[in-house]
Amino acid sequence: MTLISRRDLVIGAVGTPALLTVAGRAAGLGGEQLFTLGVASGEPSSDGMVLWTRLAPKPMQGDGGMPARAVPVRWEIHADAGLKRLVKAGQGIADPSLGHSVHVEVAGLEPGRPYWYRFVANGEASPVGRTRTAPAPGAAVDRLRFCYGSCQKYESGNYAAWRHAVADDPDLILFLGDYIYEGNPKPGSVRMHRNPEPTDLAGYRVRYATYRLDPLLQAAHAIAPWAVTWDDHEVQNNYAGALDEDNGDVAAFLKRRAAAYQTYFEFMPLRRTARPTGSSMHLYRTLDWGGLAQFQIIDDRQYRSGRSCQPPELLRDHKRSLDTTYDCADRTDPARSILGMPQETWLMDRLGRSRAGWNVLAQQTLMASYPQLDKKDPAAPPSRHSSDTWEGYAACRERVQRRWHDARTPNPLVISGDIHAFAATEHHLPDGTRVAAEFVGGSITSENHNALLKPAARLAGFAFAENEVRGYGRIDLTAKRAEVTFRGLANSADVNSSARDIARFSVEAGRSDIIADIPA
């Protein structure tokens, strides 16, 4: 790994947009600032990455305040933070059909090193971002440091977590879902959503812009490449494939899903292979970090089978799907999959082929078994099951667990979001064979309403669970060991909140048991 000085970091993170005097301003664009939403990079490969921005002089408008025509945007990638050594440059197009977002796929760079980039449009330069290439295929890598987060409800807090993640100087950031929340503004929140619940393109654009205007979130995008996947709130709470949470009209929901997916693509540093077609978007993929690690980044929302254990009379009375249910036969029905069969087949293939030192399943919902307490009888053994996580698709979960074992996938780790809690637990086959460790990295801001989690998690044999502290996860991988740190905030409402290690764990290569090192 190339070492980067603290000074470079500061420049990379907070470089201010310098106004350039480039001749020929684009017609129809005034002197308003175009790069209000910052810059980002993502999808690092050994020779490149995606560079992202979106032109939006009026980000609280559905069209961003841009004219309805394409605008050329120059991009530059440099070998140094001071932008003295230009490596590559070119022209991208900010097209109105994609909300004037720009996704540049850079190739031909050197492996395993940092780069700095910016955009120039209409005579204005964007902030400077730092990114990096992944190491060469199969290369030995001393160490990979990545941070991961999920569930950043704007109304629930500020993004101090991102300030601390930036200070950790990660090589890579993974985001595991709930980048936005779709609900109506709620008076009395720490800070409020600025538009009603979105259902169309203009509405989702304003909602994403509300989040992306946050300077700490922008700084996190500007410090390292991201690899993202989504969960439910990027579209709607607890949706399952083509079913919305109210079991409403499928065609109407797919129309809404198409608007949400397109906006997600517009705002994320994704490759063009992810560009949505109608209500479909191909998000699952692998990301390789030399010979050290492969991330299998999956999508357990778009293709999942219908929810388990939803008796018709309950649906009729309740008018929406049930989050947790008592057990029933279809929860373990092998015909059901949380991934959909094409993605599941793809994942099995990857788990069989990968020879990377660590295989990190980067995904949205709690994967481990987690029976929940019954609110009506909290003293009884846990008897309720989530219909929204892998628990509701138990046969599919077991197929992945068996695959890790049977294919001898080297050192599987699972990282997860969704439950607004930190958690660490091990995965076992029914015969007790331990096959993987899972680390749920807390939530950036979103609160946990499930007061039953901690005792239930203890009963379910979790190594650790903490649902009252917000924050993020950090993992340092070497050939020998994964060191996992849960970083918790003193107060996620406070933009200046301190953070501390609330728990540390390690997993040794060749084993999958969690060794805890929990500070007092």
Contacting positions for Fe ion (CB under 5 A): 151, 178, 446
* Residue 429 CB neighbour total at 10 angstroms: 14
- How near is the Cβ of 152 to Fe ion at its closest, in Å? 8
How far is CA 431 from its chain centroid?
A: 33
d(CA 413, CA 126): 37
- How near is the Cβ of 365 to Fe ion at its closest, in Å? 10
- How near is the Cβ of 211 to Fe ion at its closest, in Å? 13
Structure tokens at 269: 């540093």
- How near is the Cβ of 454 to Fe ion at its closest, in Å? 18
* Residue 7 CB neighbour total at 10 angstroms: 9
- Type of residue numbered 317: D
Beta bridge partners of 284: none
DSSP 419: S
Looking at beta carbons only, is 324 or 401 nearer to Fe ion? 324
Residue 454 DSSP SS3: helix
Structure tokens at 460: 């379910």
- How near is the Cβ of 148 to Fe ion at its closest, in Å? 14
Looking at beta carbons only, is 36 or 210 nearer to Fe ion? 210
- How near is the Cβ of 312 to Fe ion at its closest, in Å? 28
Looking at beta carbons only, is 279 or 446 nearer to Fe ion? 446
- How near is the Cβ of 239 to Fe ion at its closest, in Å? 13
Asked if residues 276 and 265 have their Cβ atoms less than 8 Å apart, the reply is: yes
Exposed / middle / buried, residue 189 (Cβ in 10 Å: 0-12, 13-18, 19+): middle
Dihedral class, residue 519 (left if φ above 0, else alpha if ψ from -120 to 50, else beta): beta
Both ends of the chain: CA-CA distance in Å? 32
Nearest to 314 by CA among 255, 361, 247: 247
- How near is the Cβ of 441 to Fe ion at its closest, in Å? 12
Looking at beta carbons only, is 387 or 401 nearer to Fe ion? 387
Looking at beta carbons only, is 233 or 331 nearer to Fe ion? 233
d(CA 349, CA 407): 9
Looking at beta carbons only, is 75 or 179 nearer to Fe ion? 179
Looking at beta carbons only, is 294 or 365 nearer to Fe ion? 365
Residue 238 DSSP SS3: coil
Looking at beta carbons only, is 156 or 497 nearer to Fe ion? 156
